[in-house]
């Protein structure tokens, strides 16, 4: 037998040419129907929907999967940064959703936040550098290089999107900040977050091409960046592009930070997150490591899938 259906659902093996349903699964079907349940109830036996896209159009599919009792694993940030009602539907069965790779690739940021909260320790402040691209740019500018040259280098190294403005706008970091803020119970949307872009509106995609932005537009902000770096240095601080969540405040942008802080010592494309709570008040919980890349993201997704299997044993 390769498939079974009722008035609401259809269950089919993944390869009808070579496989059939196991007797044990057929017994599960019989028990479900004898008790008056739909075949849809059997979808909770270990099925997971994994979304590694970068599309917001998967939200409706994911909501249906949740409604059918499926688990979901996300590397895609957009479903978790949609409207608050859709978000609450997606996390309505929180034990069946994993999304570690949405923030910090494979770093255990989400898991750490959840464990601290589960222990009854309230988190009151999170600050983090959550963009490998912008982390690299900030540390290189601090070393004395021109902002325009550093961005061009980052693009040549493959650190940026094809149009670096996708990184420099800060929206990717804002989505990650929103995911963390919602984990802390903040019922906010993306447009509630203050986002500081690293380029002015007149250099935006609606005003000039990517080629013009790289060849002439970027250099127009070099002087401003040099002045900001110098001003921070005179105070014994460094510039970092960070997300900051504290109370009702959630913002993304440049911040002057102490040189000897975990974020101040950040070099290259690593991510760093500092979590402050009642227990981690004076010495924050710090998570640092590679926060970008296909391998680390894939490892995070795989770890989430493996973690879910414990629900079905």
pLDDT at residue 148, rounded to an integer: 94
Annotated binding residue 161: yes
Q: Catalytic site residues? A: 176
Can you spell out the DSSP letters for 23-47? HHHHHHHHHHHHTT--GGGGGGTT-
Give exposure, 206-222, as e/b (b: 16+ Cβ within 10 Å).
Answer: eebebeebbeebbeebb
| DSSP tag of 69 | T
Contact 267, 138 (CB under 8 A): no
Whether 259 and 136 share a structural domain? yes
Contact 116, 273 (CB under 8 A): no
pLDDT higher than threshold 90 for residue 137: yes
Whether 58 and 100 share a structural domain? yes
Whether 53 and 139 share a structural domain? no
Whether 83 and 195 share a structural domain? no
Please report which confidence band the pLDDT of residue 25 belongs to, taking 50, 70 and 90 as the band edges.
confident
Whether 182 and 205 share a structural domain? yes
Annotated binding residue 142: no
Q: E strand or H helix at 251, and its extent?
A: strand 249-258
CATH number for 113 = 3.30.360.10
Whether 1 and 54 share a structural domain? no
Domain of 37 in residue numbering reads as 1-42
pTM score above 0.85: no
Whether 52 and 144 share a structural domain? no
Whether 87 and 32 share a structural domain? no
Whether 225 and 308 share a structural domain? no
Average pLDDT of the segment spanning 123-136? 94
∠ CA 279-283-289, rounded to 5°: 110
CATH number for 307 = 3.40.50.720
Average pLDDT, the chain: 90
pLDDT at residue 11, rounded to an integer: 74
Whether 221 and 302 share a structural domain? no
Please report which confidence band the pLDDT of residue 228 belongs to, taking 50, 70 and 90 as the band edges.
very high
Instruction: State the Cα–Cα distance between residues 28 and 59, nearest whole angstrom.
Output: 30
For 168-205, the pLDDT digits (tens) are: 999 999 999 999 999 999 999 999 999 999 999 999 99
Whether 116 and 152 share a structural domain? yes
pLDDT higher than threshold 90 for residue 122: yes
Whether 128 and 264 share a structural domain? yes
pLDDT higher than threshold 60 for residue 209: yes
Indicate left, alpha or beta for 267 from its phi (over 0: left) and psi (-120 to 50: alpha): beta
The total number of structural domains in the chain stands at 3
């Amino acid at each position: 037998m390769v498939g079974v259906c009722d008035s609401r659902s259809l269950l089919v093996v993944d390869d009808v040419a070579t496989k059939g349903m196991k007797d044990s699964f057929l017994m599960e079907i019989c028990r479900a129907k004898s008790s008056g349940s739909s075949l849809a109830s059997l979808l909770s036996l270990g099925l997971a929907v994994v979304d590694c896209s970068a599309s917001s159009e998967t939200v409706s599919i994911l909501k249906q999967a949740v409604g059918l009792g499926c688990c979901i694993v996300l590397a895609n940030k957009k479903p978790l940064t949609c409207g608050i009602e859709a978000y609450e539907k997606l996390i309505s069965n929180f034990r069946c959703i994993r999304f570690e790779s949405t923030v910090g690739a494979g770093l255990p940021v989400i898991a750490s936040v959840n464990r601290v909260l589960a222990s009854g320790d309230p988190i009151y402040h999170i600050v983090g550098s959550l963009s490998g691209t912008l982390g690299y740019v900030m540390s290189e500018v601090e070393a004395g290089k021109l902002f325009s040259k550093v961005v061009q280098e980052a693009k040549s190294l493959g650190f940026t999107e094809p149009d670096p403005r996708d990184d420099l706008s800060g929206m990717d970091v804002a989505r990650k900040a929103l995911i963390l803020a919602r984990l802390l119970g903040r019922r906010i949307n993306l447009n509630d977050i203050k986002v500081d872009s690293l380029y002015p509106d007149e250099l935006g995609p609606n005003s000039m091409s990517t080629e013009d932005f790289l060849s002439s537009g970027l250099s127009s902000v070099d002087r401003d960046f040099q002045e900001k770096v110098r001003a921070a240095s005179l105070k014994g601080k460094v510039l970092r592009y960070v997300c900051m969540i504290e109370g009702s405040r959630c913002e993304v942008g440049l911040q002057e930070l102490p040189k000897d802080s975990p974020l101040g010592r950040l070099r290259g494309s690593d991510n760093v997150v500092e979590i402050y709570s009642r227990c981690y008040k004076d010495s924050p919980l710090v998570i640092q490591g590679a926060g970008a890349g296909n391998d680390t993201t894939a490892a995070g997704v795989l770890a989430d899938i493996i973690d879910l299997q414990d629900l079905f044993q």
